[in-house]
């Protein structure tokens, strides 16, 4: 009951005219920042941080949190419509969002994304409201072996149950792993894989540069080759009937977004992980638990619902360690953390005691931001669809320009624009040779988390691999991962044995 | 009368002209250099990193008090522990509009990567804004309350004692090496990315000790999760009165991390004077002073030649330490 009292007081703060106006403004700005390729929530928050001096700290963080939320919604828009991930958190949304748009069902994909984001946001905020302080302790319990085990589980969901050619999937993961190793090695303190001695390779390949290259440039080349310039997506229309029919997605896919929200929230809590791994893992698990896993990648609504629910849930989740431990769960929350220091707030375990008004005002503003982001997003859908009626011959150069601008905006280096073009061509070739690209993308996101966790674990254990199995949290996760990894092998053996059995019987 | 009038007029004109000239030339001398376009504020870290937070704080202070006629905009160059940022600054085509926030990688990265061809002393000495401090930390659950108990426990654990830190040959590694040598320990150094993650390792009991900055451990310290045993400073820190300095304990070792702002090599004298004035004002703001107190920062404002002398000294100290560690050849 005390909780409800605090929350309602929080709502009173969030609905003060100034705060309320800032929340709506933040959502709208976030929606556009998120939809713009290359610009994600981290850019939006970083750029607008100095502006927040004009208002009190509580209002400032509400504005930025609303922006963060809006960007999570907005990222899906260009992923679905153009096939370019609007933000790194929306990469997994392109896997099925884009095929849906090509099938002429962009409206379904957009509404599914909005509804799933709402579902994910709601569940995560409720979890946040109820369990913030105790969950922070769980985040602390996750040491290196636990993180490594969790990453293995993520890879296993992609390998074990991907309907694709397993050898090609593993090859694709390896390419991603190698690319993720480029740059600076924290553990040895030395630069490594500095290809051709270019200074640009002293830092790791920015994930957004890779994603825009593969999904923007590569996808555009692929579409041009397949369609020869025919308009492809003009079939999507909006009628009241269709919208009503689409709203049913919320109920039809509730299992998917429910699961994805919990997963996303939990992954978001873990420092270092954040929303991008969360959404990719949710996609993998959704595919794994689906009755029709073969539809994934070809335009399954669940394939949009899962990552979108997860990335919103993760964005709330990553605020938790930021507020309670002072450790950011994602780059965006790291910038927010910097903001809090400027406003004179000390994040950490004492924040929930010392700054009650601030904390509960923020939580209430998350509820409000989530609701408004969903409403505003759905209201804009006809506009987005109208835009899609543009013939592909006009859309293609536009995608190209947006990709170039986005690639530059991500890091502000010309080097990365060239790199993005090269990666785009590489992605196109992989696709042409029928290699799945998604596992490579997964590897490049998870590689920088997995590799140090493995090496740090082994350093601590003196090279003893049992460290992954004899700890209470990492053990079960690791064993599940291994079972999933070898599942295709077991299935093949099982089938062979059954066939043999059948042959002797007959 | 007429002549006198003429004379007076001529004199008047002459005086007017002269004083006009004087005014113009005086104005010329006084018209200080000001940035003509937005100033690039290069950060040797990604968005959200330690140096990044500092740069954004400074940017906010400058904007809040309208200290600069043109905005100061952070540009992140996170590559290679500062290597990318240093090379970018070295080759900057417009050194009058490029400044950078630096830490101790300002010395260690050029020392460790001589191929970069970067000389820290070539940078323009704008201001040392503060020095961050280091303390020795353990988890409260360990029951350790002073350095003697720490040494005893670490000795007993031998190579099983995990010291978490921020990257090989980083500040934390230098301090760990010092502790190992000074007390005859054999602690295992495990590197992580960033001081925040290191702090979390200790709070979660995944590491036995750390040498974090106060700002990184403060949250856990206040929550009673971690304990500060001793400080690598000249005097006890106001926030951690109960932690003695290593000097008091008979080990003469102090170590600080600079938080300085430098200009690109080749910056003009006038521009340097402008930035020195700008950061003097930033230093004096109540926001910066509050930040210093809250983060337990030490060190006064250092500018110009005093800062260059400080760099020379520190550069030598780091060279010697890296040689001793075997990270570079003497």
Closest CA in chain B for residue A352 = B223
Q: Above 60 in pLDDT, residue A244?
A: yes
Q: Do A338 and B218 touch (CB under 8 A)?
A: no
Q: Above 70 in pLDDT, residue A505?
A: no
Q: Above 90 in pLDDT, residue B135?
A: yes
In sequence order, the β-bridge partners of residue B302 are B128
Q: Where are the alpha helices (DSSP H) in A389-473?
A: 392-411, 414-432, 438-460
pLDDT for position B3: 53
- CB proximity B65 to A under 8 Å: no
Q: Do B197 and A459 touch (CB under 8 A)?
A: no
Q: Do B223 and A349 touch (CB under 8 A)?
A: yes
Of A12-21, A163-172, A300-309, the one with minimum mean pLDDT is: A163-172
Q: Do B60 and A187 touch (CB under 8 A)?
A: no
Query: From CA A254, how far away is CA A96, in angstroms rounded?
Result: 18
Q: Which two structure tokens, joined as six digits, stand for A135?
A: 């969950």
Q: Are strands B162-165 and B98-102 parallel, antiparallel or unpaired?
A: unpaired
pLDDT in tens, A435-461: 887 788 888 878 888 898 999 999 999
What's the farthest any 2 CA atoms get from each other in chain A? 83
Closest CA in chain B for residue A142 = B204
Q: Do B47 and A325 touch (CB under 8 A)?
A: no
Q: Where are the domains of chain B?
A: 39-132+256-325, 135-240
- CB proximity B186 to A under 8 Å: no
Question: Which member of B53, B80, B287 has the closest CB to residue A184?
Answer: B80
Per CB-CB distance under 8 Å, the chain B contacts of A460 are 162, 188, 190, 206
User: Stretch A227-253: mean pLDDT, rounded?
Assistant: 69
Q: Above 60 in pLDDT, residue B70?
A: yes
- CB proximity B193 to A under 8 Å: yes
pLDDT for position B276: 96
- Tell me, yes or no, if the two domains B39-132+256-325 and B135-240 fold the same way: yes
Most B CBs within 10 A among A141, A330, A460, A471, hence the mutation to make, goes to: A460
Higher pLDDT, A181 or A238: A181
Closest CA in chain B for residue A139 = B204
Minimal C-alpha gap between B95 and chain A (Å): 18
As to burial, measured by CB atoms within 10 angstroms (0-12 exposed, 13-18 middle, 19+ buried), residue B267 is: buried
Q: Mean pLDDT of all residues in chain B?
A: 86
Query: From CA A328, how far away is CA A272, in angstroms rounded?
Result: 8
The ipTM (two decimal places) reads 0.74
Banded pLDDT at A235 (limits 50, 70, 90): low
Closest CA in chain A for residue B57 = A342
Please give the C-alpha separations between residue A354 and each of A37, A346, A348, A359, A415, in angstroms, as whole numbers: 39, 9, 10, 9, 46
Minimal C-alpha gap between A133 and chain B (Å): 12
Banded pLDDT at B220 (limits 50, 70, 90): confident
Per CB-CB distance under 8 Å, the chain B contacts of A50 are 56, 59-60, 63-64
Higher pLDDT, A47 or B62: B62
Q: Which two structure tokens, joined as six digits, stand for A38?
A: 């290359």
CATH number 3.40.190.150 is the correct assignment for the domain at B39-132+256-325: yes
What's the farthest any 2 CA atoms get from each other in chain B? 108
For A413, the 3-state DSSP assignment is coil
The CATH homologous superfamily for domain B135-240 is Periplasmic binding protein-like II (3.40.190.10)
User: Stretch B201-206: mean pLDDT, rounded?
Assistant: 90
- CB proximity B167 to A under 8 Å: yes
pLDDT for position B20: 47
Query: From CA A250, how far away is CA A264, in angstroms rounded?
Result: 18
Q: Above 90 in pLDDT, residue B138?
A: yes
pLDDT in tens, A357-371: 788 888 888 888 898
Q: Are B135 and B217 in contact (CB under 8 A)?
A: yes
Q: Do A183 and B218 touch (CB under 8 A)?
A: no
Per CB-CB distance under 8 Å, the chain B contacts of A322 are none
Q: Which two structure tokens, joined as six digits, stand for A187?
A: 């553990």
pLDDT for position B11: 53
As to burial, measured by CB atoms within 10 angstroms (0-12 exposed, 13-18 middle, 19+ buried), residue B325 is: middle
Q: Above 80 in pLDDT, residue A86?
A: no
Question: Which member of A143, A186, A342 has the closest CB to residue B193?
Answer: A186
Q: What is the helix (H) or strand (E) element at residue A67, kind and residue range?
A: helix A57-81
Minimal C-alpha gap between A258 and chain B (Å): 29
Please give the C-alpha separations between residue A257 and each of A114, A221, A411, A484, B197, in angstroms, as whole numbers: 12, 32, 32, 22, 31
Q: Do A202 and B63 touch (CB under 8 A)?
A: no
Q: Which of residues 405-444 of A touch B (CB under 8 A)?
A: 411-412
Of A161-170, B54-63, B300-309, the one with minimum mean pLDDT is: A161-170
Q: Do A328 and B196 touch (CB under 8 A)?
A: yes
Helices A301-317 and A106-141: crossing angle, nearest 10°? 40
Q: Above 70 in pLDDT, residue B17?
A: no
User: Stretch B69-92: mean pLDDT, rounded?
Assistant: 84
Query: From CA A294, how far away is CA A287, in angstroms rounded?
Result: 8
Q: Above 90 in pLDDT, residue A386?
A: no
Q: Which of residues 254-293 of B touch A (CB under 8 A)?
A: 287, 290-291
- CB proximity A341 to B under 8 Å: yes
Q: Above 50 in pLDDT, residue A241?
A: yes
Please give the C-alpha separations between residue A56 and each of A51, A190, A344, in angstroms, as whole numbers: 11, 44, 11
Q: Do A188 and B168 touch (CB under 8 A)?
A: yes
Question: Which member of B49, B60, B201 has the closest CB to residue A50?
Answer: B60
Query: From CA A31, how far away is CA A279, in angstroms rounded?
Result: 18
Per CB-CB distance under 8 Å, the chain A contacts of B219 are 325-326, 346-350
pLDDT in tens, B155-198: 999 999 999 988 777 888 889 999 999 999 999 999 887 777 88
Q: Above 50 in pLDDT, residue B312?
A: yes
- CB proximity B239 to A under 8 Å: no
Q: Which residues contact A366 (CB under 8 A, 6 or more apart)?
A: A65, A69, A121, A125, A128, A316
Per CB-CB distance under 8 Å, the chain B contacts of A184 are 79-81
Q: Do A190 and B168 touch (CB under 8 A)?
A: yes
Per CB-CB distance under 8 Å, the chain B contacts of A203 are 77-80, 84
Query: From CA A275, how far away is CA A200, in angstroms rounded?
Result: 26
Task: Determine phi and psi for A132, rounding to 5 degrees.
Answer: -50, -55
% chain B with pLDDT above 70 = 88
B41 Rama sector, left if φ>0, alpha if ψ -120 to 50, beta otherwise: beta
Q: Above 60 in pLDDT, residue A162?
A: no
């Amino acid at each position: 009951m005390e909780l409800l009292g605090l929350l309602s007081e929080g709502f009173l703060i969030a609905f003060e005219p100034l705060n309320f106006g800032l929340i709506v403004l933040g959502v709208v700005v976030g929606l556009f920042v998120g939809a713009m390729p290359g610009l994600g929530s981290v850019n939006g928050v970083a750029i607008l941080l100095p502006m927040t001096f004009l208002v009190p700290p509580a209002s400032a963080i509400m504005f930025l949190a609303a922006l963060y939320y809006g960007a999570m919604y907005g990222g899906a828009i260009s992923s679905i419509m153009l096939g370019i991930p609007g933000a790194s958190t929306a990469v997994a949304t392109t896997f099925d969002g884009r095929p849906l748009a090509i099938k002429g069902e962009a409206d379904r994909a957009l509404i599914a994304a909005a509804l799933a984001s709402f579902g994910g946001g709601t569940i995560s905020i409720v979890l946040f409201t109820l369990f913030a302080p105790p969950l922070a302790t769980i985040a602390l319990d996750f040491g290196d072996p636990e993180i490594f085990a969790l990453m293995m589980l993520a890879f296993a969901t992609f390998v074990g149950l991907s309907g694709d050619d397993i050898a090609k999937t593993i090859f694709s993961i390896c390419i991603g792993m190698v690319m993720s190793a480029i740059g600076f090695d924290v553990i040895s303190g030395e630069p490594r894989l500095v290809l051709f001695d270019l200074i640009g390779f002293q830092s790791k390949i920015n994930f957004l540069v890779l994603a825009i290259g593969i999904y923007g440039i590569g996808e555009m080349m692929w579409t041009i080759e397949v369609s020869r310039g025919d308009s492809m997506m003009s079939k999507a229309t909006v009628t009241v009937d269709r919208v009503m029919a689409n709203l049913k997605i919320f109920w039809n896919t509730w299992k998917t977004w429910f699961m994805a929200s919990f997963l996303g929230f939990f992954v978001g809590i873990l420092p270092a992980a954040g929303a991008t791994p969360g959404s990719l893992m949710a996609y993998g698990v959704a595919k794994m638990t689906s009755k029709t896993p073969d539809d994934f990648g070809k335009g399954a609504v669940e394939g949009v619902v899962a990552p979108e629910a997860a990335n919103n849930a993760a964005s709330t989740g990553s605020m938790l360690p930021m507020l309670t431990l002072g450790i950011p769960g994602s780059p965006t929350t790291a910038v927010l953390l910097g903001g809090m220091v400027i406003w004179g707030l000390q994040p950490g375990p004492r924040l929930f005691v010392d700054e009650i008004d601030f904390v509960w005002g923020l939580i209430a503003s998350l509820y409000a931001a989530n609701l408004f982001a969903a409403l505003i997003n759905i209201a804009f859908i006809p506009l987005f669809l109208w835009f899609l009626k543009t013939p592909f011959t006009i859309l293609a150069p536009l995608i190209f320009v947006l990709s170039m601008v986005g690639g530059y905006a991500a890091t502000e280096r010309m080097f990365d624009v060239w790199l993005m073009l090269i990666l785009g061509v590489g992605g196109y070739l992989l696709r042409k040779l029928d290699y799945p690209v998604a596992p490579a993308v997964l590897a490049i996101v998870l590689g920088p988390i997995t590799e140090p966790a493995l090496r740090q674990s082994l350093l601590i254990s003196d090279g003893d691999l049992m460290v992954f199995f004899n700890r209470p949290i990492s053990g079960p996760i690791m064993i599940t991962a291994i079972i999933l990894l070898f599942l295709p092998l077991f299935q093949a053996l099982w089938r062979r044995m059954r066939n043999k059995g059948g042959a002797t019987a007959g | 009368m007429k002549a006198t009038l003429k004379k007076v007029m001529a004199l008047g004109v002459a005086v007017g002209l002269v004083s006009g000239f004087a005014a113009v030339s005086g104005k010329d001398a006084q018209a200080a250099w000001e940035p003509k376009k937005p100033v690039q504020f290069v950060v040797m870290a990604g968005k959200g990193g330690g140096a990044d937070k500092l740069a954004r704080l400074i940017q906010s202070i400058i904007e809040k008090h309208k200290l600069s006629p043109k905005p100061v905009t952070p540009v992140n160059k996170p590559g290679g522990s500062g290597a990318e940022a240093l090379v970018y600054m070295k080759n900057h085509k417009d050194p009058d509009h490029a400044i950078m926030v630096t830490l101790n990688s300002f010395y260690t990265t050029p020392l460790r990567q001589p191929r970069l061809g970067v000389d820290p002393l070539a940078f323009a000495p704008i201001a040392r804004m503060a020095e961050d401090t280091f303390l020795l930390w353990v988890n409260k659950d360990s029951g350790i309350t002073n350095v003697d108990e720490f040494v005893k426990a670490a000795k007993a654990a031998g190579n099983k004692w995990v010291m978490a830190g921020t990257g090989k040959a980083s500040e934390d590694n230098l301090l760990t090496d010092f502790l190992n040598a000074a007390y005859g320990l054999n602690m295992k150094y495990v590197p992580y990315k960033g001081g925040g993650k290191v702090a979390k390792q200790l709070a979660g009991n995944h590491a036995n000790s750390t040498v974090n900055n106060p700002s990184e451990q403060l949250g856990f310290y206040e929550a009673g999760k971690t304990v500060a045993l001793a400080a690598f400073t000249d005097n006890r820190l106001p926030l951690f009165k109960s932690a003695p300095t290593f000097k008091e304990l008979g080990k003469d070792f102090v170590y600080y991390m600079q938080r300085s702002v430098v200009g690109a090599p080749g910056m003009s004298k006038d521009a340097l004077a402008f930035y020195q004035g700008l950061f003097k004002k930033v230093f004096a703001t109540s926001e910066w002073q509050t930040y210093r107190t809250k983060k337990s920062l030490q060190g006064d404002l250092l500018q110009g030649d005093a800062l260059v002398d400080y760099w020379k000294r520190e550069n030598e100290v780091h060279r010697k330490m890296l040689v001793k560690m075997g990270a570079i050849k003497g």
